[in-house]
Amino acid sequence: MSKGRFIVLEGGEGVGKSTQARLLAAALQAQRIPAVLTREPGGTPGAEAIRELLLDPPKEVTEAGGWNAQTEALLFAAARADHVARLIRPALAQGKWVVCDRFVDSTRAYQGGGGGLSDEQILTLHEIGSEGLVPDLTLLIEVPPEIAGARLAERDAGTSDAIGGRDRDYHARVAAAFRRFVEAEPGRFALIDGHGSPGEIHHRIMAALTPLLERAA
C-alpha cells in the first residue's frame, strides 16, 4: 500500500482556499490517487458541532463579547483532536491523501498572531489533542487585502462569521503570522500566488505538489 499524504491549504480570509481544496482533491482522484477532502474546524460530526460554536456562537456568548482567544484555542484543539483521530489518521493509514482546508497553522495565526496567544501554548494543545500531527505540505495562498476583501464581499453578501468579520488590524496580524511560519519552516510550506483565475492558481498548486506526486508514482 502506498503511503498516504496530508496536504493542508492555509491563508487568510478570501484567498480561495476552499475552492482550491476542492480542485486539488478532484485532480488527485483523476490521477487515481485516493483523496479525502475535509476542513477545519469540522470534518467529523463532533468537530462540526464545535465549528458551530466557534463561527456562530450562541446569542448569549455574542452579547457577552464572544469567546476569548484562550477559549477559541481550546475549542479548535478539541475539534481537531476528534478530526485527527476519527478521519485524518485513519485515512492516512489506508494510503489515502487527505486534503484539508485549514489545520493547526490557522490556530497559530488567528488565536496566536491575531489573538495574542503564544506559539508554545497552541502547539502544546496540539501535542495533547492531536499528538503533534504535522502536514506533509502546507500550501499558503496569499493575495493582497483589497482582492481578498472584494472576494469576501461577493461571497458573503455583507455578512461573515464571528472570526472572519474581525477588523483589518486583526487580519493584518494573522497575515504577518502566516508569513513568519513560511520563513521559519520553508521546507514544510509552499507559498502560492493567489492572483488570477481558479484554474491558474490550481496550476501553481499542482506544480508545488510535483515532488510528492513523483514519489507517489
Q: What is the overall mean pLDDT for the chain?
A: 92
| pLDDT bucket at 162, cuts 50 / 70 / 90 | confident
Distance between CA atoms of residues 4 and 111, nearest Å? 29
| pLDDT bucket at 215, cuts 50 / 70 / 90 | confident
Distance between CA atoms of residues 24 and 205, nearest Å? 8
Confidence (pTM):
0.92
Distance between CA atoms of residues 98 and 179, nearest Å? 24
Residue 156 has pLDDT above 80, yes or no: no
Q: Tell me what pLDDT residue 33 has.
A: 96
* Number of alpha helices (DSSP H) and beta strands (DSSP E) in the chain: 11, 5
Q: What is the mean pLDDT of residues 130-134?
A: 98
Retrieve residue 192's grid coordinates.
Answer: 502560492
Q: Are the C-beta atoms of 92 and 6 separated by less than 8 Å?
A: yes
* Domains of the chain and CATH, by start: 6-216 (3.40.50.300)
Radius of gyration of the chain (CA): 17
Residue 169 has pLDDT above 60, yes or no: yes
Q: Tell me what pLDDT residue 163 has.
A: 84
Distance between CA atoms of residues 126 and 139, nearest Å? 20
Q: Are the C-beta atoms of 77 and 108 separated by less than 8 Å?
A: no
Residue 143 has pLDDT above 70, yes or no: yes
What are the pLDDT digits (tens) for 19-71? 999 999 999 999 999 999 999 999 999 999 999 999 999 999 999 999 999 99
Q: Tell me what pLDDT residue 153 has.
A: 59
Q: Tell me whether the omega of the peptide bond preceding residue 41 falls within 30 degrees of 0, making it cis.
A: yes
